Structure 1
Amino acid sequence: MNNGPDTVTLPVPRTAPGRGTVQPEDIYEPPLAVEAPSDAAIVVHFTGKDDRTAMFSFEGLPLPELHEDLARAFAARFGKNQLNTVASAYGQWNVIQRLVRFLGALPRPPRSLSRLTGAQLKRYRMHVQAGMNDLTLFAHFKLVHALLRKVPADRLRPEVLDAIWQAARIDKRKIRSKPGYDDATFHKIVTAARSSVVDIYQRIREGERLLARFEGDPTQLTGVELDRGVELSEIARTGRIPHVPGARGNWRSTNLPDPAARLRTARQLFLTHDDIVPLVVFGVAVTGRNAETIKELPVEHRLLDGQAVALEIVKRRRGADRWFEEVTWDVGRQSERLKTAGGYYLFCERLARRGRQFSRSALIWSVWTNGKMNGKDATSGHKNPFDIRLSFTSTLTGWVKTQPELCDLPDFVLDLNRLKTTLDRVNTRAAGGHLPSSIRSNTQDVLFRNYLAGDPDVQDWAEDVITEALEDTEDAARTAYRRTRKATGELKVLTGPVDEARDVATAGIGLDADTAREVLDGERDTPFAACTKTTDDCRDSFLTCFACRNAVATASHLPAQLALLDELAALWEGTDRGTWWRRFGQAWLAINEDILPRFTPQERAAAEAAKPADRVLPLLDGPSEEDTAWV
C-alpha cells in the first residue's frame, strides 16, 4: 500500500458560492417542489444547498384539508437563511407531523387553517412542553411560527397572526451546553480511536501488499496466498465482491451465500460502514473540527511543497452564505501522519481511494456495502456513506461497545460535540489560559457560547469576562440608541391607508403637502426609508437613516427592512458581538422597537411575503460603514 501523499482530483462537479456548474444542453425544468395529485398524497421534494435531496409525503397524516397549505408553506421555507440542508428540512417536517397529529386528535379539529385558533396553538404548546427544556421548546415553536408565517395572512385568524409574529426571546446564557470530558476520559477516547484506525490501516495494507505481490510476480505465491491474490486482482479490477458460500457443517446451507464472509473479503481492500465511525471520531480529535466538517472532506486538494495540504472545507454553522472555507493543514513527517490535520486528511484520502474509483464520490469517503438497492448495484456496492444524510449508518454506541476501555467507563456516552469541546479546552489550556489564543475555527464569542460555556474548567476564568464584555457592548448600544432618540425624537413612521398616512404626514410630523406626497409616492426613497431633505450631500451609510430626523419609514419600506433583519441575524453568528452592535445595533433596535410595533400583524405578514429575493446589505456599499459608530 502506497502511503505517500498523492494528489487526486476526481472530475465530479460541485457548486459553491462564485462557482458555476456544467449547464445541460437542453432546457432544464426543475421538479416541482410540491406535487398535489388528486388521487394520491401530497409530496414535497427538497434539494439542499449541498445537493442532497429528500422527499416528504403527507400520506397517513390526519386532516387532509390542511395538507396542501402546509406543504406549500413548507416548500416556501426552502432556500437562503432558512432550510438549506436535509437535516434542517427533516427538523421542520417532524414539527409538521407532530402538529398535524395533535390537531387531528382534538375533539373539534380545524378543517382548514382559517379555523385554527390561538387557543389550539396554546393547547399544542402545553402538549409538547413536557420533557422539553426552555431552549428545545423555543426552537420547536420557532419552527412552528416560521412555517405558519409562510401561509397567506388572509387564511389565518388575527389571534394566530398575533401569536406567530410575536418576538419570542430566550436567555441562552441560562442554558448551558454539555461540558467536555475529563482528561482521562478524553485520553481513552482518542487512544481507542487511534487503535481502531491503525487496525483499519494494517488490514487494508496487508490486502494491498498481497495484491501487489500477485500483480508483480504471481509465481512467487502458492496455495492459499495464490488463491487470495487471484481473487483480490479480480476485485481490484471490477470492484465486485464475489458471493461466498456458507461453510459445510454450519447452520447455513451450503447453497446460500454467507454475507459475513463476503464482508470480510471486501474489507481486505475497501472501507466499510463500521470503519467510518472511528475514522471520524479520530478526525475530530486531530483536526479540532466539527464532525459534520470531517464527514464532508472533499477529494479535491492541493499539496504545497509536500509540507501542507490546501483544501476547501464545509462549516455549516456559519450561515448559508459562508459554508465554505479554504484551509491549509500541516502534513508533518511521515511518522506523524496521524498527529497532524494534513497527515490525517491524506491518510484517509488514500485509504478510500480504491473504493472511490467505483463510487465516484466527491468526498474522500467511500465504503462497500452489501445489497443492490438505492443504486448500489450500478457501483457494485460502493457508495459515499454520506450521500443522502450526514448521520452515521453504524452508530457511535456500536463502536463504543467494541472498545473495552470505553465500555468500562460508568455511564459513558460518546458525544462528538463534547469531544470537540474537550479539545477546545485542551488547546485553550495549552495556549496559556488565554481564550483568544485557542481559537482555531470560530470567533471568540461563538467558541465560548457554543462549545466552552458549559465546561466547568472554563467557566471559572472565562464566563464572567466574556459575558460582561458582551453585556457592556449591548448596553452601550442601547444607551446610545436611547440618547439619539431623545435628541432627535422617535423615528417617523407612517402606517395605514395612503389618505390617512398623508394626513399624519402633514399634521402629525409637520411635512408640507408636496413633501408628504413625494414620500408616500416613493419619490424620496432610500433603501430603507424616505428622506425629507436632499440626499446629495449625505455621505453617511444608509443605516444611519434609522437615527436621522429627516427619515420617514412607510409600509413600502417594510419588506426591505424585514430582509435587512434576516441578514443581520445571519451575520450574528459569524461576527464579533462588539463589532455587530457597533455597526448594526442602531438599525436593529430601530426596526424592532420603533417600526414593527407600529404595523398590524396583517401588514407585517404582507411585507414578509414581499421581501426582496436579493440581498439588501450590498446596498450599503459606498459610504464607509466602519466609520459609522454609534457606541
Structure 2
Amino acid sequence: MSQDSPRAGRGCAAAVPEGLYQPPPVVEVPKEGGSPVARFTGEDGRECVFRFEELPLPGMHLDFAYALGVRIGPGGGCRTQRAASGQWQSIKRFLLLLDRLPVPPQRVEDLRARHLERYLMSRRETCSEKSARRDLQGLLRIVRALPGQDRLDRTAADFAGQRGHGVDAQQEMRPGYSDREFQAVMAAARSDVAAIRDRLAAGESLLRRFLEAPDSLTLAEREQGVRLEAMARTGRVQVDYRGLSAGEYPAACYAQARQLFAIDPDLAPLLIYAAGLSSSNPETLKELPAEHRLLEERAVAVTLTKRRRGKANSRASVHWSVDPDRDLRTMGSFYLLLHRMMARSRAFSHTASVWSIWAGSGRGGARHAATAGHCGPFDAELARKLKLRAWADGHGLVGDDGAPLEMLVTRMKKTVEARTAKRVGGHLPSARLTNTAQTSFAHYLRADPFISEWAADVLTEAITDAEHHARDVMLRLGGADPKAVPQTARNKAEVGELDTLAASCLDMEHHPAGGRCRSSFLSCFSCSNALVLERHLPALLALVDALREDLQQRDAEQWTARHGTTWQILTRDILPRFSPAQHAAAAQGKPLLPLDLLDGPKEAP
C-alpha cells in the first residue's frame, strides 16, 4: 500500500430496528366478525384489495382467504397486480359456480373432484380450451394452498395434485402474423401515429402563433388560441359549448382536448407501433419511463422494467438508435416523439411514465380531478382496455384466411422475433432482441408456423445445394484450375463431345508439350488439358477394373512401371472426390473397356 494513501477505517454497523420484524398481514379478519379482506402490494407498487364479503358461501371464506394470502403474499408466486387479480377471479368464479348448484358445499371438507371438473366445463362454455385450462390451473394452485390439506376429500386432493391439467394449454402457442398481415398492421398504425403527431403539432403551432403574434390570426383562431392558452396553463379543457346540446358536450370536450393532449383512443396505434419497432412485451412498453439519456443525438438510453425475469433481474438498460430526420423510423426516434407528444399532459399528471393522457371527467374521472383529468394510463393497472379489435376493424384489417384480424400486441412481438430470425439466417444468438436465445426459441419461434415453413424451405434449399455441390464434381488434372474452363468447353464435355477413354480433353490439337496429342489415354490423367466430370465415373470404375485385370497378366514390377502413376492418380486424387452414393450409382452402368485402348493410338498396318 502506498504511504500517501489513507488507511481505511473500521467502519460502522448498519442501523437495525429493535425487536422482531412483523410484516403487515396479507389477510385481515375483522375482530367483530365478518368476511376477511386480502390486501396485495406488488413489486411495482400497485395495490389492490380483495373483499370476500361480496362472495357467497361464507363457510369457505376464511380458508380461501388464507390460500389467497399464500399466493399473493411475499412468498407466493404472484408479483404483479394482474397475477393477483387472476387468482382472485379464480376464487370468485368458483364460489359463484358452487352457489348455483342444487346442493352447494358449505365447507372446504365438502369439496369433491366433480366440483373442480365442473369448473373446467363451465369455463369451456365461455372461453377457449387454452384459457379454460389456464383458469383451472389457477384454481388448483389455490386449492393446494388451502390450510389443513388433510381435511380435503381424497378425490379433490388427488385431482388437485395430478399433473398435466394444463400441459396442453401451455404447449399451444398463438403464432405471430404473416409478413402481409404484419405490413398491413404497421402501415395502419404508422398512418395513425403520423396523424396524432400532425394533430398535436398543429395545436402547438396555433398556440405559439397566438402567444407571439395574436393580431395575425383570424377571429376564430384567436378564440381558439385563448382556449389553448388556458389549457396549456391549467391543464383543464376549455370548450365553447354555445349551440351544443347536453349530449354533445363529451364529444366536444374530447375534440378540444385532443388539440394539445393525447387521449385514450391514441394509445392503441401508439402501443402497436412501439411493439412493431422494439419487439418488447406489452407490459414492458406500458411501463416505459419518462427518464432517459440522449447520447450525442444518436441514441437514447432507457431503463426498462422486465418483470418476467424475476425481481433480481427486473431492470435492463437498452440503447435505441435515433434518426433525427425521421421520427417513425427507429424505436429511439419514436420514443422521443412519444416523450414530446405527452409532455404537456405529463406536467399535470406527474407520472414517471412516458405515457400520459387526458382521460376526461366522465366515468371514473373523479380519480383524476386533482390532475385536471390527466393520468398515466397504465399507472393504476397495466390491464387497461385498449379496444384493439375495434381499432383493427376500423382499418379493415383482415387475416390471410379472410376473417377479421385478431389484434394482439403479444403477436406483434412474436412476429418481430420471427422476422429477425429470418433476417439473420436463423442464428439465434444474433437474432435475439430482448430475450436470450433459449427464451426466443422456446416461447416465440418453436411453434410459429411461419418460422417452421421458412425453416423447412431453408433446410430443403441447403440439402439441395449440398447435394448439387456434391454431385457437381469437376476436376482439372495436371494441376490446372477447374474455374478457368470456359463455359462452352464445359458444355461440350457434359454432352460427351470431348470424351477420351475416361475423361474429356479440352484441346486435343494442342498438347502441353506442343503439337497434336498422340499420347496414351492413360497419360490424360496427368495432362492439364484433361477434365473429369461425374459422367465419367462409370468409365473410371471400369478403368480401375481393367487395370486390376491387367495386373493379373503382368509382372508386378512391369505393371507398376506402366500403370503405377495412373493408379495413384485414380485411387488417391480422383475417385475419393465422389460420394459413396455416386460410386454405387455409377457401378450399375460401367462400360466394357478393351485393354488394347490402354496403350494409346497405334499406326495402322
TM range (shorter): 0.5 to 0.7
1:309 aligns with 2:337: no
Q: 1:334 aligns with which of 300, 305, 324?
A: 324
Per-residue deviation at 1:186?
1.2
Q: Distance in 2 between matches of 1:33 and 1:170?
A: 29
| Residues 407, 380 of structure 1: alpha-carbon distance in 2 compared, 3 angstrom cutoff | farther
1:211 aligns with 2:207: yes
Q: Counterpart of 1:197?
A: 193
Judge conservation of contact 2:289–2:302 (CA < 8 Å) in 1.
Answer: yes
Per-residue deviation at 1:108?
3.5
Q: Counterpart of 2:519?
A: none
Q: Distance in 1 between matches of 2:212 and 2:414?
A: 48
1:391 aligns with 2:391: no
Q: Counterpart of 1:370?
A: 360
Q: Distance in 2 between matches of 1:180 and 1:394?
A: 20
Judge conservation of contact 1:366–1:385 (CA < 8 Å) in 2.
Answer: yes
Per-residue deviation at 1:146?
1.8
Q: Distance in 1 between matches of 2:118 and 2:290?
A: 50
Question: Where do 1:108-147 residues align within 5 Å?
Answer: 108-125=103-120, 128=123, 135-147=130-142
Post-superposition Cα deviations, 1:565-611, rounded to whole Å, max 9, x if no partner, equal xxxxxxxxxxxxxxxxxxxxxxxxxxxxxxxxxxxxxxxxxxxxxxx
1:433 aligns with 2:451: no
Per-residue deviation at 1:269?
0.6
The one-letter amino acid paired with 1:83 is: C
Q: Distance in 1 between matches of 2:170 and 2:24?
A: 45
Per-residue deviation at 1:322?
2.6
Judge conservation of contact 1:244–1:257 (CA < 8 Å) in 2.
Answer: no
| Residues 368, 95 of structure 1: alpha-carbon distance in 2 compared, 3 angstrom cutoff | same
The one-letter amino acid paired with 1:204 is: L
Per-residue deviation at 1:191?
0.7
Q: Counterpart of 1:411?
A: 404
SS of the residue corresponding to residue 46 of structure 1 reads: strand
The one-letter amino acid paired with 2:317 is: E
Q: Counterpart of 2:263?
A: 272
Q: Distance in 2 between matches of 1:173 and 1:99?
A: 20
Q: Distance in 1 between matches of 2:457 and 2:419?
A: 20
Judge conservation of contact 1:176–1:453 (CA < 8 Å) in 2.
Answer: no
Q: Counterpart of 1:357?
A: 347
1:325 aligns with 2:316: yes
| Residues 166, 378 of structure 1: alpha-carbon distance in 2 compared, 3 angstrom cutoff | same
| Residues 393, 109 of structure 1: alpha-carbon distance in 2 compared, 3 angstrom cutoff | closer
Q: Distance in 2 between matches of 1:464 and 1:152?
A: 55
Judge conservation of contact 1:207–1:269 (CA < 8 Å) in 2.
Answer: yes
Q: Counterpart of 1:47?
A: 41
Q: Counterpart of 2:491?
A: none
SS of the residue corresponding to residue 335 of structure 1 reads: coil
Q: Distance in 2 between matches of 1:374 and 1:74?
A: 31
Question: Where do 1:480-495 residues align within 5 Å?
Answer: none
The one-letter amino acid paired with 2:203 is: G
Per-residue deviation at 1:189?
0.7
1:347 aligns with 2:337: yes
Judge conservation of contact 1:361–1:384 (CA < 8 Å) in 2.
Answer: yes
1:457 aligns with 2:413: no
Structure 1 stretch displaced more, 349-358 or 119-128: 119-128
Question: Where do 1:537-556 residues align within 5 Å?
Answer: none
Post-superposition Cα deviations, 1:22-45, rounded to whole Å, max 9, x if no partner, equal x9xxx9995864354757554322
SS of the residue corresponding to residue 50 of structure 1 reads: coil
Per-residue deviation at 1:168?
4.1
Per-residue deviation at 1:165?
3.7
Q: Counterpart of 1:291?
A: 282
Q: 1:187 aligns with which of 183, 190, 208?
A: 183
| Residues 179, 33 of structure 1: alpha-carbon distance in 2 compared, 3 angstrom cutoff | same
Post-superposition Cα deviations, 1:212-240, rounded to whole Å, max 9, x if no partner, equal 12222333334111111121111101101
Judge conservation of contact 1:135–1:175 (CA < 8 Å) in 2.
Answer: no
Per-residue deviation at 1:129?
5.4
Q: Distance in 1 between matches of 2:173 and 2:217?
A: 58
The one-letter amino acid paired with 2:39 is: H
Per-residue deviation at 1:455?
2.1
Per-residue deviation at 1:462?
5.3
Per-residue deviation at 1:367?
0.6
Post-superposition Cα deviations, 1:443-501, rounded to whole Å, max 9, x if no partner, equal 223212222233222124659999xxxxxxxxxxxxxxxxxxxxxxxxxxxxxxxxxxx
Q: Distance in 2 between matches of 1:66 and 1:169?
A: 24
Structure 1 stretch displaced more, 42-51 or 196-205: 42-51
The one-letter amino acid paired with 1:387 is: D
Q: Distance in 1 between matches of 2:170 and 2:143?
A: 28
Per-residue deviation at 1:420?
1.7
Per-residue deviation at 1:60?
4.0
Question: Where do 1:208-247 residues align within 5 Å?
Answer: 208-245=204-241, 247=243
Q: Counterpart of 1:90?
A: 85
Q: Distance in 1 between matches of 2:387 and 2:277?
A: 20
Q: Distance in 2 between matches of 1:120 and 1:404?
A: 44
Structure 2: runs of 5+ lacking an equivalent: 1-16, 460-605
Q: Distance in 2 between matches of 1:464 and 1:46?
A: 50
Q: Distance in 1 between matches of 2:176 and 2:305?
A: 23
Post-superposition Cα deviations, 1:333-357, rounded to whole Å, max 9, x if no partner, equal 2123311111111110111011000
1:156 aligns with 2:151: yes
Higher relative contact order (CA 8 A, sep 6+): 1
SS of the residue corresponding to residue 303 of structure 1 reads: strand
SS of the residue corresponding to residue 258 of structure 1 reads: helix
Per-residue deviation at 1:57?
2.6
Q: Distance in 1 between matches of 2:458 and 2:75?
A: 35
SS of the residue corresponding to residue 367 of structure 2 reads: coil
Post-superposition Cα deviations, 1:280-329, rounded to whole Å, max 9, x if no partner, equal 00000111112221111001111122211111112232234432211111
The one-letter amino acid paired with 2:78 is: L
Judge conservation of contact 2:397–2:405 (CA < 8 Å) in 1.
Answer: no
Judge conservation of contact 1:46–1:55 (CA < 8 Å) in 2.
Answer: yes
TM-score of the superposed pair, with normalisation by structure 1:
0.63
Q: Distance in 2 between matches of 1:94 and 1:452?
A: 31
Post-superposition Cα deviations, 1:100-149, rounded to whole Å, max 9, x if no partner, equal 12322334433221333345445545554567776545433332232123
The one-letter amino acid paired with 1:459 is: S
| Residues 28, 120 of structure 1: alpha-carbon distance in 2 compared, 3 angstrom cutoff | closer
SS of the residue corresponding to residue 376 of structure 1 reads: helix
Per-residue deviation at 1:167?
4.3
Per-residue deviation at 1:369?
1.9
Per-residue deviation at 1:365?
0.6
Q: Distance in 2 between matches of 1:441 and 1:72?
A: 37
Root mean square deviation, CA, Å: 3.2
Structure 1: runs of 5+ lacking an equivalent: 1-22, 467-631
Structure 1 stretch displaced more, 52-61 or 87-96: 52-61
Q: Distance in 1 between matches of 2:457 and 2:141?
A: 34
Q: Counterpart of 2:58?
A: 64
Q: Distance in 2 between matches of 1:405 and 1:70?
A: 44
